[in-house]
């Protein structure tokens, strides 16, 4: 706490000598304080879990299985309701019947992410595609794209650090692709599978065209795209980076210092979500690379710095309660 007080005093002195207004002074103090408090929570969390962000080489473990949906729930008043078995096969019964685990996974997400930031999540899916593959995903409900589904792989859920990183990553998608950031259009959503219509929609969009439509001019993802992707998008589009491993390796190798992970290079939406995870779970970098600049990108938004502190505080409270 002494370090936070020292930072605040230095911040006050700085704004005094630079002649900032009282409103600017308060905002500067609030920003510095939130960064410092967030960093202190990273210190505390590291004592519990070790380093929160670990750089790992991607590897093909050869165990990729077809994704199997196991059980789905509606989320009503923060509780899992109306369970539906998505497959009837004794092979999966032990996963489907582990209701306590399903509840635990949902409650971890709900405990970390403030309720007002996840109001769009109205469904929760438990699935598996084998160990070591996809851990989580979010997607809009087809019957109502303004609502979203969170899916988690129960077979991978015992690795606490990977689970936390995935939850922060998937929340990033919700944060950057929600209706305020990417205004919902029923006509647009209905035509996203039509290549000709999709191309016309992209052409008419003056901002970044996401997987779910045209982003708002001041949206986080459009600002991120304009700063970091405009100069490389033509090369990315000339390759099949999303599904072809060789193309991904080629593209990532050409721009290795521009991405926090190789997965970030697969798509602009994955890039901002991966960078967001690093922003939340690590300290502010020195901006020695473009990848560092992507992490620092979020610090220009006081509301995101405050949200980072809230997420880390909530995460620390959850983990210390579990370990007591």
Q: What is the pLDDT of residues 232-270, one digit of tens each?
A: 999 999 999 999 999 999 999 999 999 999 999 999 999
pLDDT of amino acid 321: 85
Q: Where are the domains of the chain?
A: 2-49, 68-180, 186-307
Question: Dihedral sign, CA of 190, 195, 196, 201?
Answer: positive
pLDDT of amino acid 322: 66
CB-based contact 262:248 (threshold 8 Å): yes
pLDDT of amino acid 53: 86
Place of tokens 């599978």: 193
Instruction: Examine the pLDDT at 303 and tell me if it is beyond 50.
Output: yes
CB-based contact 284:17 (threshold 8 Å): no
- The pLDDT confidence band at residue 10, using thresholds 50, 70 and 90, is very low
Q: How many CB atoms neighbour CB 60 within 10 A? A: 8
What's the mean per-residue pLDDT of the chain? 89
Selection from 226, 277, 234 nearest residue 255 by Cα: 234
Long-range pairs for 202-208 at CB < 8 Å and ≥24 separation? 208/268
* Backbone phi, psi, residue 185, to 5°: -130, 120
Q: What is the pLDDT of residues 113-165, one digit of tens each?
A: 999 999 999 999 999 999 999 999 999 998 888 999 999 999 999 999 999 99
Query: What is the C-alpha to C-alpha distance for residues 202 and 193, in angstroms, rounded to an integer?
Result: 13
* Backbone phi, psi, residue 281, to 5°: -100, 5
pLDDT of amino acid 255: 98
pLDDT of amino acid 13: 44
């Amino acid at each position: 706490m002494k370090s936070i007080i020292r930072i605040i005093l230095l911040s006050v002195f700085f704004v005094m000598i630079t002649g900032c207004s009282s409103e600017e002074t308060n905002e500067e103090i609030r920003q510095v304080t939130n960064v410092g408090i967030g960093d202190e929570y990273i210190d505390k969390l590291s004592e519990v879990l070790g380093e929160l962000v670990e750089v790992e080489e991607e590897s093909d473990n050869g165990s990729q299985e077809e994704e199997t949906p196991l059980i789905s729930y509606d989320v009503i008043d923060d509780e899992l309701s109306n369970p539906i078995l998505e497959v009837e096969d004794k092979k999966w019964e032990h996963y489907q019947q582990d209701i306590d685990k399903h509840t635990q996974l949902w409650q971890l997400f709900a405990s970390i992410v403030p309720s007002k930031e996840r109001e769009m999540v109205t469904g929760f899916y438990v699935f598996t595609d084998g160990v070591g593959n996809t851990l989580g995903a979010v997607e809009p409900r087809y019957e109502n794209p303004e609502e979203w589904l969170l899916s988690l792989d129960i077979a991978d859920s015992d690795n606490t650090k990977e689970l936390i990183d995935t939850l922060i990553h998937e929340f990033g998608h919700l944060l950057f692709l929600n209706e305020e950031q990417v205004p919902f259009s029923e006509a647009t959503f209905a035509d996203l599978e039509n290549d000709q219509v999709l191309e016309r929609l992209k052409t008419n969009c003056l901002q970044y065209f996401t997987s779910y439509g045209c982003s708002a001019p001041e949206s986080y993802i459009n600002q991120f795209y304009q700063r970091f992707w405009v100069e490389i998008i033509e090369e990315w589009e000339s390759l099949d980076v999303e599904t072809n491993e060789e193309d991904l390796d080629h593209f990532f190798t050409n721009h290795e210092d521009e991405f926090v992970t190789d997965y970030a290079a697969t798509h602009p939406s994955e890039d901002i979500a991966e960078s967001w995870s690093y922003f939340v779970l690590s300290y502010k970098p020195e901006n020695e690379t473009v990848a560092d600049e992507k992490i620092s990108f979020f610090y220009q938004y006081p509301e995101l710095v405050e949200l980072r502190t809230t997420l880390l505080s909530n995460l620390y409270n959850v983990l210390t309660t579990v370990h007591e």
